[in-house]
Each structure stands twice: as structure tokens, then as C-alpha cells.
Amino acid sequence: MDAPRRHHRYYDLILAAFVVVLLCSNFIGAGKAAVVDLPYLGTTVFGAGILFFPIAYFFGDILTEVYGYAYDRRAVWAGFAALSFAAVMAQIVIALPVAPGSYMANYQQGLETVFGNSWRIALASMTAFWCGSFANSYVLAKMKIWTQGRHLWMRTIGSTAVGELVDSSLFYMLAFYGLWPIQEVIQVALAQYVLKTSWEILATPLTYWVVGFLKRKENQDYYDIHTNFTPFRVKV
């Protein structure tokens, strides 16, 4: 008989925050293109959502570090389900017949602009998130064992670097290969990767504080020594 699952005071709150950040960064910020000047890369166009999307990796690092891979795996599946529902809902709302009147006609145009991403882009986004998140969690869990719990900064930055590499590479290749020149696909993906990973580096002090707080309050510091790392389950 399996041991009863331990109750955690803050896990549900972090899970909810993770899903909210994921939905908002994909459906609010993703539609706006902004520019930034980067060293060596020059003026770079990026989706505004990537300013907030790395927060999902921030939560993923915290979940894996404190609660373990299985708890982060459940959060990833919750986020994937939320993204899937939001994508389907957006397409249904856009496809519904529009009521007469200029106001609703303009409103429909706005909906299509913000939420009318092609299915190719939506599927690319969800696939990249799923693969990148699991890569991030797996690397962090393994590095924690290898380092015997030391050097948290190395684990969070290293795992995010791997996860974001998988995420950015998959998304831009799946979404824009054959539509953009391959050189442009690589350049934009590289710029997004640099921006996302830099965010994690800057957030390191906050990561230390949140992880320390949760470990004290939850009285837990999990090591994934005997963990089944298959991504295809939600049981913890």
C-alpha cells in the first residue's frame, strides 16, 4: 500500500501562480512584438510575453527543488491542460457568428488579432513548453543529487539554460520553419534564449529567498533519488 501523500501548505498556491503566469504570458504578451538593443545581437525583435514567461521556469525550479520532480510534473500537466483549453476556447469564441453593429465588428477584429494565432503556432507553443519544462525539471533534479544539494544557483541557471534551449529551439522551428528564412529563425530563437536565460540569472537572489522560505515552512528538501522520471503520469 502506498504511503499517504503529504500535505503541503504552499504547493497549491504555487501551482495556481504557475498556471496563471503561463496563460497570461502566452495569451496577453505573445501578440505584441517589442524591440531591445542587445550586445552583439543589436536591435532585436521579441515577443513581449517572454518578459513574463520565464517566471514559469522560476516556479518550476522552486517546485522541483523543494517538493521534487513529481510535483513539478503535475504542475506542468496542469499548465499544459490550461493552455490547451484556452487555445480551444479562443478558436471557438472567434468562430462564433458576430452580432450586428460596428462595435462588435471592431471587437471581433481585435479578438482575431490578439487570440487568433494559427493552430501551428499554438501547437508549437504547447509542445515547446511541455518539452522544455520537463527538461528543466529533470536536469535540476539530477544536478541536486550530483551536487549533494549545494550550489543552488548552479542548478537553477543550468537547468533553465537547458530547458529554455529546448523550448526556444522547438518553438521557432515548429512554428516558423519553411515560413521564415532559416537564418532568421535561428537568430530570433537565439535572441529569445538569451533574454529568457538572463532573466533566470537576475532572479537568482529571489530564488534563494523563496526556496529557503518554503523549505523552512514545509520542512521539506526533496531529493529525487528513486524517482520515476517518466513525464507521462501525474501521480506524486
Q: How do the domains of the chain map onto residue ranges?
A: 11-218
In the chain, the amino acid numbered 81 is A
- Among 48-57, 83-92, 100-109, 226-235, the range scoring the smallest mean pLDDT is 48-57
Q: What is the CATH number of domain 11-218?
A: 1.10.1760
In the chain, the amino acid numbered 203 is A
Q: What is the pLDDT of residues 155-178, one digit of tens each?
A: 999 999 999 999 989 988 988 888
Is residue 200 within 8 A of residue 157, CB to CB? The reply is yes
Q: What is the pLDDT of residues 13-51, one digit of tens each?
A: 999 999 999 988 888 766 676 777 877 767 777 767 778
* Nearest one of 69, 64, 66, 57 to 160, comparing CA atoms: 57
Is residue 106 within 8 A of residue 45, CB to CB? The reply is no
Q: What is the pLDDT of residues 106-147, one digit of tens each?
A: 999 988 877 776 678 888 889 999 999 999 999 999 999 999
What percent of the chain has pLDDT above 70? 94
Torsion sign across C-alpha atoms 188, 48, 57, 120: negative
Residue 95 grid cell: 468562430
In the chain, the amino acid numbered 191 is A
Q: What is the CA radius of gyration of the chain?
A: 19
Mean pLDDT of the chain: 89
Distance CA 127, CA 133 (A): 10
- Among 58-62, 134-138, 182-186, the range scoring the smallest mean pLDDT is 182-186
pLDDT of 3 > 70? The answer is: no
Res 49: pLDDT:
74
pTM, two decimals, is 0.90
pLDDT of 1 > 50? The answer is: no
Distance CA 66, CA 194 (A): 26
Res 118: pLDDT:
65
Angle at 87 between CA 86 and CA 93, to 5 degrees: 85
